Amino acid sequence: MMLKKFVDPLPVMETIQPSSYGRNTLYFEVSMKEVMQKLHSDLPPTKIWGYNGRFPGPTFRVQRNQTLQVLWKNELPEEHFLPIDSTVHGANKDNPEVRTVVHLHGGATPDTSDGYPDAWFTKDFKEVGPFFAVKVYTYPNQQPATTLWYHDHAVGITRLNIYAGLAGAYIIHDKKESSLSLPQVPYDIPLVIMDRSFNKDGSLYYPSQPDSPNTYVTPSIRTNFFGDTILNNGMVWPYLEVQPRRYRFRIINASNSRTYQLSLSNDNPFIQIGSDQGLLLAPVNVRKILLAPAERADVILDFSTMSGQVITIQNDAPAPFPTGDLPDPDTTGVLMQFRVSKQLLSTDTSKIPSTLNAVARLEERNAYQTRNLLLNMSNDQYKREIHLLNNQLWSDPITEMPHLWSIEIWNFINVTEESHPIHLHLVRFQILDRQRFDKEIYQTEGSVVPIGPRIKPEANEQGWKDTVCANPWEMTRIIVPFGPYTGLYVWHCHILEHEDYEMMRPYVVIK
């Protein structure tokens, strides 16, 4: 079934309002609910799980240093509507089927509120996981202005819970950023990108079997999932009518496995002003933006000279990335459409200043140590492919224990054929460089022999990050100051099918 493109307007998620105001905190209650939601005018309503019954959930907009308290409530049914693989760690039949825990991605959050995968809870907190800590989460928001997102993180079923709809945008504003006169609400719009597949009756389709027939497990986890339909803010291939002026879009790749390489159909560049953890040093004109799962790009689109034009956002990233099939230009190669059809309401007073943010580069020589961390593959007992971090399982003893405020270099050595977007909770980091190494020598002798120079990241990857794309047969080095809290966190690949199946490890920041 092929859905018509550009027939529904782009929804803009509503901004959530506090349920009460404390002394120095704002208090929110958010309920996860199963609802039927229209995702395209020609589709019957689709069963989804949404925060406050919306997919994506409502957008948080907070000021830096404003503490938030959130009570996340699970009001979901007791049965999952997507296929759970009970051979996956944490998803075994002794555990309740529907478990949730909420993580603020990119947030510098105390560990008791960080949404540790084992800190799950069921409806009305009837059952809780082995690491359950607190009911009401605290978000101190002491970090600079940026675009974060919140999503489910329950061990063994994160891919299914997020696929069902449990994700939303979380924006931190601060005075410095406000003083820059960038486009503001309603011209500041989060764009949550996801791929999905549908059954004829409009329900979400998620396969219960992998493509390769080498398993007798049903349902079985897959190594990747790619939908054949692209949704923006929960609508299939929407359009947005815009005025001839500047807009700010905060693009969030909330897809399970799909990496996008975005471009505009009129060949104009995006003016990228920010990445995962805040504003870049200066705006960068980029014709193509690569966005792996969980990465964000903060961009300005200037429609001021485009009255009457129709522009689409396109995608030409292979799936799996980077060696898989190219997207179909008619389906997964398209995200959404802009129509510059509205009258200019008032003069556009927004600006794009030539400098945005002081991003001091971290120096390699200030690092206390380097950890070499393999991104590798193996086979499980059912002969399925399994992705690992440093050849270890989620349940193996903790091996990464950085000291509070120590600076470390983590060197990801990817010996698989797929890029892995590696994410560390709690911290922000910078990308030092990427360097290729000899695949044949590695496969025959097991040693890592670099070929070619260490390549510095492009300007739009030189800001603060929390997720980094580690490409096949490359070493990707990041430099990380560990803080601002001690405690138990995780690092993992953000391809959800990998994360759920062992490509995730706990780590501890110690005193």
Collapsing DSSP to helix, strand or coil, 8 comes out as: coil
In the region spanning residues 283 to 302, those forming contacts with ligand C2O, defined by CB under 6 A, are 294
> Can you give the binding site for Cu ion, defined by CB under 5 A?
105, 420, 425, 493, 495, 498
**Residue among 340 and 490 whose Cβ is closer to ligand C2O:** 490
Other C-beta atoms lying within 10 Å of the C-beta of residue 112:
17
Nearest distance from C-beta of residue 52 to ligand C2O, angstroms: 20
Q: Which stretch binds ligand C2O (CB under 6 A): 40-48, 139-147, 273-281, 487-495?
A: 487-495
**Residue among 43 and 495 whose Cβ is closer to Cu ion:** 495
Nearest distance from C-beta of residue 437 to ligand C2O, angstroms: 27
423 binds ligand C2O (CB under 6 A): yes
| Amino acid letter, 372 | N
Q: Which stretch binds ligand C2O (CB under 6 A): 65-73, 181-189, 270-278, 489-497?
A: 489-497
Q: Tell me, what DSSP letter sits at residue 329?
A: T
**Residue among 149 and 247 whose Cβ is closer to ligand C2O:** 149
Nearest distance from C-beta of residue 117 to ligand C2O, angstroms: 8
- Torsion of the alpha carbons at 224, 227, 231 and 232, rounded to the nearest 10: 20
Nearest distance from C-beta of residue 431 to ligand C2O, angstroms: 18
Burial 385-394 (b: 16+ CB within 10 A, else e): bbbbbbebeb
434 binds ligand C2O (CB under 6 A): no
φ, ψ of residue 177 in degrees (nearest 5): -65, -40
Of the residues 33, 54, 103, 196, which one makes contact with ligand C2O according to CB under 6 A: 103
**Residue among 55 and 412 whose Cβ is closer to Cu ion:** 412
Q: Extract the tokens encoding 425.
A: 């909770």
294 binds, among ligand C2O, Cu ion, none (CB under 5 to 8 A by kind): ligand C2O
Pairing verdict, β 420-424 and 487-493? antiparallel
Beta carbons within 8 Å of 467's beta carbon, 6+ residues apart? 276, 292, 293, 294, 295, 421, 422, 423, 494
Of the residues 5, 250, 465, 492, which one makes contact with ligand C2O according to CB under 6 A: 492
Residues written for the chain: 511
Of the residues 425, 434, 465, 477, which one makes contact with ligand C2O according to CB under 6 A: 425
154 binds ligand C2O (CB under 6 A): no
**Residue among 173 and 387 whose Cβ is closer to Cu ion:** 387
Nearest distance from C-beta of residue 167 to ligand C2O, angstroms: 9
159 binds, among ligand C2O, Cu ion, none (CB under 5 to 8 A by kind): none
Beta strands in 88-228 (DSSP E): 102-105, 136-139, 146-152, 167-173, 188-198, 204-205
248 binds ligand C2O (CB under 6 A): no
* Residue-by-residue DSSP string for 430-496: EEEEEEEE-HHHHHHH----EEEEEEPPPGGGSS-BSEEEE-TTEEEEEEEE--S--EEEEEEESSH
Beta strands in 321-419 (DSSP E): 334-339, 369-379, 385-389, 407-414
Q: Which stretch binds ligand C2O (CB under 6 A): 277-285, 302-310, 314-322, 490-498?
A: 490-498
153 binds, among Cu ion, ligand C2O, none (CB under 5 to 8 A by kind): ligand C2O
Of the residues 5, 153, 246, 384, which one makes contact with ligand C2O according to CB under 6 A: 153
Contact call for residues 230 and 331 (beta carbons, < 8 A): yes
**Residue among 188 and 500 whose Cβ is closer to ligand C2O:** 500
- Torsion of the alpha carbons at 19, 76, 94 and 92, rounded to the nearest 10: -100
φ, ψ of residue 499 in degrees (nearest 5): -55, -45
105 binds ligand C2O (CB under 6 A): yes
Nearest distance from C-beta of residue 305 to ligand C2O, angstroms: 37
**Residue among 253 and 411 whose Cβ is closer to ligand C2O:** 253
Collapsing DSSP to helix, strand or coil, 184 comes out as: coil
Pairing verdict, β 102-105 and 146-152? antiparallel
Q: Would you tell me which residues interact with ligand C2O (CB under 6 A)?
A: 103, 105, 151, 153, 294, 423, 425, 490, 492, 494
